[in-house]
């Protein structure tokens, strides 16, 4: 027994010394494995699939076709080009409305008045509501004959088909998205307004500056970095909007609300073309990554 203890102890000490010396690598290993399994491997597999033709509805295995899917996407798919245009229009319009509305609400709630806390909490409710529930509620509200919105419009002699018409469906979806996510920009703008110093405003009042001049020349430049972050978050999120559109329109009527995500869903789970769907994912991911990098660079230039 004594001999066995003497031969086992040095190896145990060596193992403990090794673990102590490389503890940072040992503790990082589970996180690295999770990152690889949940993030890196799916990205690599999607890239691999985008180079293949694979119809899941058939018994044939994936067939390597190189860049044919990318050529089809960039030069031969008119439906994809229309989806890109709709996605850009939806994203730019929704984020613009949310930015303006969020700043206006932030300026309003930054003032002291009775019931401010209650109204501010009430304004944040759309942001924490389930998107599918929001979609179902607005489907009922936008019904051409039974919806409450058309009843309110009828009081002033107007009427709209909302999501049931190819012309008005995108503006209707922008309205829903703005109603849900304007409070997010409001919160970020409020946080920025709370950190502003009082000295520039006192100097502006002494110089006779109006409220608009103080906002345009002092408030807006000071909160612009926070607004850039808000636009970055909302822009990327609006590009990926799926749940509300799928719940309300399913991409219709007549593909009038089919964004990139909706077209991707139809390609993968309606036509079962997984190879081409993977190509759309890769291109979509590249667009989002490029926009994020550009926004971050603009923001850094703002701070320098």
pLDDT digits (tens, 9 = 90+) for 163-199: 999 999 999 999 999 999 999 999 999 999 988 888 8
* Yes or no: domain 72-303 corresponds to CATH 1.10.3720.10: yes
Residue 200: band (very low, low, confident or very high) from pLDDT cuts 50, 70, 90: confident
Instruction: Report the pLDDT value the prediction gives residue 91, as an integer from 0 to 100.
Output: 94
Whether residue 134 has pLDDT greater than 90 = yes
For residue 46 the two structure tokens come to 């999607």
Q: Exposed e or buried b for every residue in 97-134, given b needs 16+ CB within 10 A?
A: bbbebbbebbbebbeeeeeeeeebeebeebeeeebeeb
Cα 76 to Cα 134: distance, rounded to the nearest angstrom? 36
Q: Tell me the pTM.
A: 0.85
The full set of domain ranges for the chain reads 2-50, 72-303
- Which of the residue ranges 52-66, 131-145, 251-265 would you say has the lowest mean pLDDT? 52-66
pLDDT tens sequence across 102-114: 999 999 998 888 8
Contact 161, 144 (CB under 8 A): yes
- Which of the residue ranges 11-15, 122-126, 234-238 would you say has the lowest mean pLDDT? 11-15
More confident residue, 4 or 40: 40
* Number of helices (H), then strands (E), in the chain: 15, 2
């Amino acid at each position: 027994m004594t001999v066995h203890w003497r031969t086992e102890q040095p190896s145990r000490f060596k193992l403990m010394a090794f673990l102590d010396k490389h503890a940072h690598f040992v503790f990082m290993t589970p996180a690295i494995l999770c990152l690889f399994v949940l993030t890196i491997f799916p990205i690599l597999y999607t890239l691999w699939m985008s180079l293949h033709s694979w119809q899941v509805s058939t018994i044939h295995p994936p067939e390597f076709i190189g860049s044919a899917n990318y050529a089809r996407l960039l030069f031969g798919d008119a439906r994809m080009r229309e989806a890109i245009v709709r996605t850009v229009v939806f994203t730019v319009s929704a984020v613009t409305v949310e930015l303006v509305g969020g700043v206006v609400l932030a300026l309003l709630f930054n003032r002291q008045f009775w019931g401010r806390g209650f109204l501010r909490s009430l304004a944040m409710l759309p942001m924490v509501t389930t998107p599918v529930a929001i979609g179902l509620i607005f489907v009922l509200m936008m019904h051409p004959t039974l919806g409450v919105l058309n009843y309110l419009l009828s009081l002033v002699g107007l009427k709209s088909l909302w999501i049931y018409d190819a012309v008005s469906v995108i503006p209707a979806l922008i309205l829903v998205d703005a109603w849900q996510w304007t409070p997010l920009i409001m919160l970020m703008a409020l946080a920025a307004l709370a950190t502003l110093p009082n000295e520039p405003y006192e100097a502006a009042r002494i110089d006779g500056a109006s409220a608009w001049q103080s906002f345009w020349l002092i408030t807006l430049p000071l909160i612009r970095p926070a607004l850039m972050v808000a636009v970055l978050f909302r822009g990327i999120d609006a590009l990926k909007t799926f749940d509300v559109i799928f719940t309300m329109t399913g991409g219709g009527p007549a593909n009038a609300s089919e964004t990139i995500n909706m077209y991707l869903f139809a390609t993968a789970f309606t036509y079962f073309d997984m190879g081409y769907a993977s190509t759309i994912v890769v291109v979509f991911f590249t667009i989002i990554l490029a926009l994020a990098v550009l926004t971050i660079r603009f923001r850094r230039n703002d701070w320098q």
